[in-house]
């Protein structure tokens, strides 16, 4: 399955909707998108992962890289994820302590 | 161990295909659907490591996978050339910065019931087992 990425602005926050599979083949596409957003001045980003079917450590690495980039501009990167199999990956790697993770986009935006 | 074998080029484009093949073999071996998801991630991690440190366009040895039901459960063995640190150092591997082997191995360890990572000469061997119940 392909990876699709769409972004929109909600107030001073940019929502990046990620759908499909994030693995070693597709993760560069996500990284490029995050680099592009930060380069364009989007420093408060919510990555909506509710439509992600698969995520591995290369995807985690890209998200950590994105977090470092926005933090260098005093920005934030938060996640929306409500799928147990994806949340399990964040828990095993300890990244639940690094990323604010919300159940819904509404919660993340509030 | 009733074994299936697969040999694929060291190219990330094959990772999705291999994931599907090994996942279906796990289902046939009697692995529960929840654990099949664990197998898929563990396979993706193993192949991400196997694909790391490859110079683009270089003529490389393929990745070999053996997988099937064993006494321990559903067992997967991945053998590939050891990650080439010189390729990473020279920036010749654009995918290298994506992979944190420590994070990757933590994930495999957390998702499987047995995991080992060994270096034999120029080859890296990753083995993991997921229980059948």
User: Would the pLDDT of B94 be above 50?
Assistant: no
Mean pLDDT of B66-83: 91
User: What band does B86 get if pLDDT is binned at 50, 70 and 90?
Assistant: low
pLDDT in tens, B41-58: 999 999 998 887 665 555
- Which of B8, B35, B40, B41 to probe by mutation at the A interface, max A CB count within 10 Å? B41
Tokens of B76: 């997967």
Sheet-wide strand order for A13-22: A4-10, A13-22, A44-55, A76-80, A101-102
pLDDT in tens, A84-94: 999 999 999 99
Choice between B89 and B25, residue whose per-residue pLDDT is larger:
B25
Q: Do B44 and A23 touch (CB under 8 A)?
A: yes
Residue A25 at interface with chain B, using a CB cutoff of 8 Å: yes
3-state SS, residue B66: strand
Q: Do B98 and A25 touch (CB under 8 A)?
A: no
Report the percent of chain B where pLDDT is more than 70: 82
- Which of B42, B44, B109, B110 to probe by mutation at the A interface, max A CB count within 10 Å? B44
User: Would the pLDDT of B123 be above 50?
Assistant: yes
Average pLDDT, chain A: 96
Mean pLDDT of B21-47: 96
Mean pLDDT of A68-72: 97
Mean pLDDT of A25-32: 95
User: What band does B91 get if pLDDT is binned at 50, 70 and 90?
Assistant: very low
Measured at the CA of A73, the angle between CA A69 and CA A79, to 5 degrees, comes to 55
CB A39 within 8 A of CB A8: no
Choice between B59 and A17, residue whose per-residue pLDDT is larger:
A17
User: Would the pLDDT of B92 be above 50?
Assistant: no
Could you tell me which residues come within 8 angstroms of residue A19 by beta carbon, excluding any fewer than 6 positions away?
A3, A4, A5, A51, A52, A53
Q: Say what angle helices B33-51 and A57-71 make with each other, to 10 degrees.
A: 70
Class of residue B51 by CB neighbours under 10 A (exposed 0-12, middle 13-18, buried 19+): buried
- Smallest CA–CA distance, residue B99 to chain A, in Å, is 5
Mean pLDDT of A11-26: 96
Mean pLDDT of B108-127: 93
User: Would the pLDDT of B68 be above 50?
Assistant: yes
Q: What are the phi and psi torsion angles at B86 (to 5°)?
A: -70, -35
Nearest-CB residue to A56 (from B13, B41, B94): B41
Q: Do B100 and A1 touch (CB under 8 A)?
A: no
Report the percent of chain A where pLDDT is more than 70: 99
pLDDT at B61: 80
ipTM: 0.89
3-state SS, residue B113: coil
Tokens of A97: 């302590």
Q: Do B99 and A60 touch (CB under 8 A)?
A: no
Could you tell me which residues come within 8 angstroms of residue B121 by beta carbon, excluding any fewer than 6 positions away?
none
A24 chain-B contacts, CB cut-off 8 A: 12, 15, 44, 47-48, 51, 95, 98-99
Tell me chain A's radius of gyration from C-alpha atoms: 13
Average pLDDT, chain B: 85
> Among B120, B119, B129, B108, which residue's Cα sits nearest to residue B47?
B108
Choice between A47 and B120, residue whose per-residue pLDDT is larger:
A47
- Smallest CA–CA distance, residue B36 to chain A, in Å, is 11
pLDDT at B54: 62
Report the alpha-carbon distance of residue B42 to residue A108 in Å, rounded. Answer: 30
- Smallest CA–CA distance, residue A71 to chain B, in Å, is 19
User: Would the pLDDT of B87 be above 70?
Assistant: no
- Smallest CA–CA distance, residue A11 to chain B, in Å, is 31
> Among B64, B61, B43, B38, which residue's Cα sits nearest to residue B132?
B38
């Amino acid at each position: 399955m392909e990876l699709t990425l769409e972004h929109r602005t909600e107030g001073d926050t940019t929502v990046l909707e990620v759908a499909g599979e994030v693995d070693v083949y597709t993760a560069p596409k996500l990284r490029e998108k995050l680099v592009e957003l930060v380069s364009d001045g989007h420093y408060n980003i919510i990555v909506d992962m509710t439509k992600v079917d698969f995520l591995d450590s290369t995807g985690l690495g890209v998200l950590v890289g994105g977090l470092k980039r926005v933090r260098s501009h005093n920005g934030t990167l938060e996640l929306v994820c409500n799928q147990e199999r994806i949340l399990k990956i964040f828990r095993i790697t300890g990244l639940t302590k690094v990323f604010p993770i919300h159940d819904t986009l509404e919660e993340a935006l509030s | 161990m009733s074994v299936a074998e697969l040999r694929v080029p060291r190219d990330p484009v094959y990772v999705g295909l291999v994931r599907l093949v090994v996942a279906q073999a796990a289902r046939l071996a009697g692995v529960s659907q929840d654990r099949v998801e664990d197998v898929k991630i563990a396979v993706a991690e193993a192949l991400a490591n196997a694909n790391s440190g490859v110079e683009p366009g270089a003529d490389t040895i393929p990745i070999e996978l053996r997988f099937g039901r064993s006494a321990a459960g559903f067992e997967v063995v991945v053998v590939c050339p050891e990650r080439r640190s010189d390729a990473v150092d020279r920036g010749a591997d654009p995918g290298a910065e994506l992979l944190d082997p420590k994070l990757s191995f933590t994930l495999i360890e957390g998702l499987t019931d047995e995991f080992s990572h060994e270096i034999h000469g120029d080859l890296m061997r990753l083995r993991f087992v997921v229980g059948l119940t």
